[in-house]
Amino acid sequence: MRAREMVELRIEKLAVGGDGLAFPDGKAVFVPGTIPGELVRASLSESVKASGDWASAEVRELLQASPDRVDPPCPLYGTCGGCSLQHLSYERQVREKAAILADCLSRIGGISVPDIGVVPSVPYSYRNRMQFHRSPGGGIGLKRRAGTEVVETPTCPVADLPIRRWMEAREGRGRVREDLRSYLAG
């Protein structure tokens, strides 16, 4: 595998973190924004590991989409690094998270679990803790996926209601900590 090489990949499973995993020629290739079963044409990144054991790739064309693929509700999805599974239906997210847990328990812990029951929760407005950063433009945001650049984030569908209201009310204002304390105090 060489950097920038175009490859056709069948996604076999999701890795911890939500990237799809394909195994062409026995090598692991991590492909963000994909779902097990999908067939994609992707370009290998410039950061192909020197040992050749793994690589990351970026989807250039979705050749066969999963029926579980949905439009993410967040306009920043794929850019902002806060979420990695919004392109999956919620039911599929729950199944994939259970599969990731079972794989980790088996592969790392040597524990075989026949069936992991996952208790579903609300798909949005669940995150009650977020780490914001100041953008160069003075706004607030979350870090870009796989990077350190701050993506200004005026709202977030996974943030719980008090955080989301604060984000929407304070857009463009300074003093993040003091502003949040006074907002939450009422």
pLDDT at res. 135 = 83
Task: Specify the residue for token string 């709202």.
Answer: 155
The domain of 48 spans: 6-64
Does any domain span residue 147?
Answer: yes
Does any domain span residue 163?
Answer: yes
Question: Measuring CA to CA, which residue among 122, 103, 30 is closest to residue 7?
Answer: 30
Does any domain span residue 76?
Answer: no
Give percent of the chain above pLDDT 70: 87
Q: Of 46, 64, 82, which residue sits at a domain end?
A: 64
From the centroid of its chain, how far is CA 11?
16
Question: Over the stretch 103-129, which tens digit does the pLDDT of each residue have?
Answer: 999 999 899 887 888 888 888 999 999
pLDDT at res. 179 = 61
Assessment of whether the complete model's pTM goes beyond 0.85: no
Does any domain span residue 159?
Answer: yes
pLDDT at res. 168 = 82
| Number of separate domains in the chain | 2
Q: Of 40, 64, 88, which residue sits at a domain end?
A: 64
Edge to edge, what strands does the sheet with 39-44 contain? 6-10, 39-44, 54-64, 28-31, 20-22, 13-14
Query: What residues have CB less than 8 Å from 122, skipping those under 6 apart?
Result: none
Q: Of 43, 64, 85, which residue sits at a domain end?
A: 64
Collapse the DSSP code of 98 into the 3-class scheme (helix H, G, I; strand E, B; otherwise coil) and give the result: helix
Question: Over the stretch 127-168, which tens digit does the pLDDT of each residue have?
Answer: 999 998 888 887 788 999 888 999 998 899 999 998 888 888
Does any domain span residue 97?
Answer: no
